[in-house]
Structure 1
Amino acid sequence: MPIATLKRLVLSLAVPFAMVLSGSVHAQQVEGIAAIVNDQPITTYEVRDRMRFILSTSGIEPNEEVLVQVREQALRSLIEETLQLQTAAEFEVPVTDEEVDEAIADNVARNGMTVAEFQRELESTGASIDTIRQQLRAEIAWSYLVSGRYRNRIRVSDAQIENALERLAESASQTQYRVAEIMVTLPASGAESDAEQRIMAIYGALEQGAPFPAVAQQMSDAPSAAAGGDAGWLSAAQLRPQVAQVVQQMPVGSISNPIRVPGGYMIVALADRRDGQVTEQFTLQQVTLVSSQVTPERRSALERSAADVQGCADVRGAFARVPEAIITDLGTVGANALVPQIRTALSGLESGQASSVLETAAGLQVFILCDRSIGGPGMPGANEIENQIVNQQLSLLARRWLRDLRNDATVEMVGEL
């Protein structure tokens, strides 16, 4: 919205400010058109209803400056939802009332409420449950559209999964930060002052005690908004450099000042910090020739068997020429549980290979590496990694599609509140 329009809006907020807070003015008395999206109107009543919903669910204390930003957010959301629902209608993607009801019930249950309690709370602020019904109907339709259009086109290779696991293991061995984020992106016009006004209004609301997750859910442009801004456990290497520099200095439980990043502004909250807990894991079999049984001939036989071994399927057969040898299945052992001598012997091995003969306190030993993996608290498996990659790509494609719809649409801003 142009700066001049914002100024006019501030000047015109005396009556709308009261209406947004109390909802005391009947809709028909103030009905008008706020915008037209491909010939479909968005009414001023719908904008006010969404504003009340944002204020009631985010905990933001309203003032004239905040209301300007909340109106911007409400109108932007309604325009995007209208485009999503128009596209769903074009592709004949239906969303039933039962699906919307179920989504509402799931949402309110996560907050420990019933639908009736939630509806009463909304009505006490002057908001209508119809606004969240539209929001969820658009979300459900959009998820169907994006999945139907792109899901079968996304292919995730084994190499991508392995690379992702390696990067994750590397970062997970470093200090990790549980971060929540709010992102305000620069508008298509590139007017940085608009984004700056939005982020400062959001920061002001947080300073006044508005809950970070609720504000993120309603006001953030990041994909994490749906999760209340929760970006999960991340290492400094996984954060934007500008954010990492700040997060590393933050005490747990604090919220940052607005941070300028490429493409916009961010505010981050540091929920927790932990040391890296991921270690390399070895699945091993052990062959031991105890000291009392060692002879030059048996040492040579042990060395030949170690050189000839091919995998863990028949270790006993591979070492049959050393009948005095004791075969032990060690299972999976963390690298940090092994003495340095054994870790060094295993470091260059491929799965199925045996170490050289080691002289240990037990006698002569050979270790056969059956498998090597990365493990530790929170480490996902290959299937989880694949789903993460797919969801990341779907999210990126969804944002691009919505941007294209917005650029191709005819959107006319008609009036104010």
Structure 2
Amino acid sequence: MKRLFVCVLALVLTLVTGGARAQDTLRIAAVVNDEIISVYDLNMRLSLVVAFSGLPNTLETRQRLGPQVLRSLIDDELKRQEATRLGISVSEGEVENALRRLEKVNGLDRGGLDRFLASRKIQKSSLTTQIESEIAWRKLVQGRFGALSQVSNEEIDEVLSEIESNKGKPEYLVLEIFLPVDKPENERETLSLANRLIQQTQAGANFQALAQNFSKSPTAERGGSLGWNRLGQLGNELDQALAKLRPGQLSPPVRTIDGYYILYLREQRTARGLSNPETAPPVVNLQQLFLPLPPGAGPAAVADAMEGAKTFSDKAKTCQDLEKMGKEIGSPLSGNLGDIKTSALAPQQRDLVRGLPLLKASRPLRTKDGVIVLMVCRRDRVEKLELTAAGQRERIADRLINERMGLAARQHMRDLRRAAFVDIRL
């Protein structure tokens, strides 16, 4: 049956590339409790995942991701139905705020997201539907499990004591992708997906974007960020994998009782304990010049773009110069990116900006869609963040509550899947 599903899916995706939108709107990919997910819905979500993850938009990629993306659509529909049953609604303002945050995270100016989607022929409604589902689910989880996830002063005291006792020991800034295995028959397919995500990340795909689109952990909305952790906090299986990593490295798929994890170690530091203040990440105001490249551009085209970007870089002396150049070449993704924490930049961009003098254009950087040049228009002074005792306790309480609500959310989602009628038609 699985082989037949893959073959039919390949045929569907081949037809979609031919542009049969009206036909795809009528074709059924799955039925979830009498609600229909169309082939068109599936292909729009696939295009969305490919665009934000930096994956190659090829038929092979879409075939491989198709089953997992369809399951994500099914989960979103189950979340939407459960929220509707409980009378939970999402306002237009909440969706707009989420879209603005998404623009900022991806380095786009206001309205840049609309241009990004239009250039890839992706309907904005596909993204807003996904956002509405996630917001409604977050409200549901908070309302249903928030009161049951409270922590005691004794638990907070225990964490504070542990932080102080671990002063001077290594700490790890970790990101995760979690892929649950709800049924034994899904074991092989889930492991295969985990390996593909690792391969795509190693080939240049954005790990945070992959986490947002594929991870089933509550950390997905934060790009998979687990924050700073020490050995002993994540469980034996994950601790063993983490201990073998160096900054910038990925773990192989790690099997736990719930499913597979992929860990990405971003940074490592020495624990400061409770007495030393944290350093806030620097904030920079960035100007970007973007030279687009078509998908599958050959070496000659890439070399020409890199040379052209270098010429612009050598000529630009101010952010206004770089902005003018972007307008002259008609590049919609060129412009001022606003104020951004350097910690929010992609690793390659962060390396490009680190140590770059003010008003000096960077060297050209090849990205998945083209070539960029960055210039730091302003760099804010780095400050020390000293938390009060009350602030430290509040932060710890929030983390413990989020962990408990995340576990409750996964269990509730598992119950919804088991109780649902789901008929996959592909």
Q: Which TM-score applies when normalising by structure 2?
A: 0.67
Distance 1:99 1:51 in 2: 24
Q: Offset at 1:173?
A: 4.1
Structure 2 distance, partners of 1:23, 1:391, is 45
**Contact kept? 1:174, 1:275, Cα under 8 Å:** yes
State how far apart, in whole Å, the 1-side matches of 2:388 and 2:203 are: 34
Are 1:152 and 2:147 matched, yes or no?
yes
CA contact (8 A) 2:195 2:252 kept: no
Question: Does the aligned pair in 1 maintain the 2:25–2:41 contact within 8 Å?
Answer: no
Contact 2:13 2:43 survives alignment (8 Å): no
AA aligned opposite 1:395: G
2:400 corresponding residue in structure 1: 389
Comparing 130-139 and 166-175, the one that deviates more: 166-175
The secondary structure found in structure 2 opposite 1:191 is helix
| AA matched with 2:144 | R
Could you say which residue in structure 2 is the equivalent of 1:322? none
Between the aligned partners of 1:208 and 1:132, the Cα distance in structure 2 is 25
Q: 1:86 corresponds to which residue?
A: 81
| Counterpart residue number, 1:128 | 123
CA gap 1:132/1:47 in 2 versus in 1, 3 angstroms: same
What CA distance in whole angstroms lies between the structure 1 residues aligned with 2:9 and 2:418? 30
What letter is aligned with 2:253? P
Q: Secondary structure at the match of 1:24?
A: coil
Q: Displacement, 1:240?
A: 3.3
Q: CA separation of 1:79/1:156 partners in 2, compared to 1, >3 Å: closer, same or farther?
A: same
Indicate how the Cα distance of structure 1 residues 153 and 245 shifts in structure 2: closer, same or farther if over 3 A, else same: closer
Cross-structure match for 1:10? 6
Q: What secondary structure does 1:143 align onto?
A: helix
Aligned to 2:72: 77
Q: Conserved in 1, the CA contact under 8 Å of 2:178 and 2:262?
A: yes
Asked whether the 8 Å contact 1:259–1:266 carries over to 2, the reply is: yes
Deviation string 1:72-129 (CA, Å, 9 cap, x unpaired) is: 2322222122122222222222222232122212221232214532122223223211
Q: Is the 8 A contact 1:278 1:376 kept in 2?
A: no
Equivalent residue for 2:229, pick from 229, 234, 240: 234
Question: SS of the residue aligned with 2:146?
Answer: helix
Where do residues 255-334 of structure 1 align in structure 2 (5 Å cutoff)?
A: 255-278=250-273
Change in CA separation of 1:102 and 1:253 when aligned onto 2, cut-off 3 Å: same
Contact 2:14 2:59 in 1 (8 A): no
Q: Which structure 1 segments of 5+ residues have no match?
A: 282-374
Determine if contact 1:177/1:274 at 8 Å carries over to the other structure: yes
Deviation at 1:228, TM superposition (A): 1.1
Find the partner of 1:53 among 48, 53, 57. Answer: 48
Asked whether the 8 Å contact 1:84–1:141 carries over to 2, the reply is yes
Distance 2:23 2:231 in 1: 53
Amino acid at match of 2:36: P
What residue is the counterpart of 1:169 in the other structure? Answer: 164
Conserved 8 A contact 2:142-2:405: yes
Ranges in structure 2 where 5+ consecutive residues have no aligned partner: 277-384
Q: Output the aligned Cα RMSD.
A: 2.7
- Distance in 2 separating the partners of 1:41 and 1:278: 53
- Give CA-to-partner distance per residue, 1:198-220, whole Å, 9 cap, x none: 11221221222111111111112
Q: For 1:377 and 1:236, how far apart are their aligned partners in 2?
A: 24
Query: Structure 2 residue aligned with 1:26, among 21, 24, 28?
Result: 21
Deviates more, 1:51-60 or 1:70-79: 70-79
Residue 52 of structure 1, CA deviation:
0.7
Q: Which amino acid aligns with 2:85?
A: E
Identity %: 29
TM-aligned CA distance change 1:130 to 1:115, over 3 Å: farther
Q: Which amino acid aligns with 1:180?
A: L
- TM-fit CA distance, 1:65: 5.3
Q: 1:160 to 1:113 in 2, by over 3 A?
A: same
Distance 2:235 2:57 in 1: 31
Residue type of the partner of 2:89?
P
Match for residue 222 of structure 1 among 211, 217, 223: 217
| C-alpha contact 1:187 1:195 (8 A) present in aligned 2 | no
Q: Secondary structure at the match of 2:232?
A: helix
- Structure number with bigger Rg: 1
Distance (Å, rounded) in 2 between the aligned partners of 1:146 and 1:251 = 35
User: Which residue is equivalent to 2:175?
Assistant: 180
**In 2, Cα distance between the equivalents of 1:172 and 1:23?**
60
- 2:417 equivalent to 1:406: yes
